[in-house]
Amino acid sequence: MTVAIVRAVASEKEVDPVDLSPPLDTVIDADALNDLFKAPKKSAGRVCFEYSGCRIQVLADGTVEVEPAEAAADFSR
């Protein structure tokens, strides 16, 4: 899951994944995040956080949504 997040953020920012700062694991517990999204897939829930100037939303089905933090909708809905 964390690899998919880094790739999605890098794509959104049009940079190489290794150029993202700070490293993802300084923002969120990468092991815990990966454990949450291991099979079997959950039918409900999401994880939302900010990383490298983007708002990230990971849905229960593993979908990763990324948008610039300043343009992002409120996740509290």
The DSSP string of 6-43 is HHHHHHHHTS-GGG-SS-GGGTS-HHHHHHHTSSSPPS
More confident: 6 or 76: 6
Distance of alpha carbon 44 from alpha carbon 31, whole angstroms: 20
Q: Would the pLDDT of 77 be above 50?
A: no
Question: The pTM is what?
Answer: 0.82
Quick one: pLDDT at residue 60?
A: 85
* CA-wise closest residue to 39 among 19, 17, 61: 61
Quick one: pLDDT at residue 74?
A: 57
pLDDT tens digits for range 26-74: 999 999 988 888 767 667 889 999 999 999 999 988 899 999 988 755 5
Tokens of 23: 């490293």
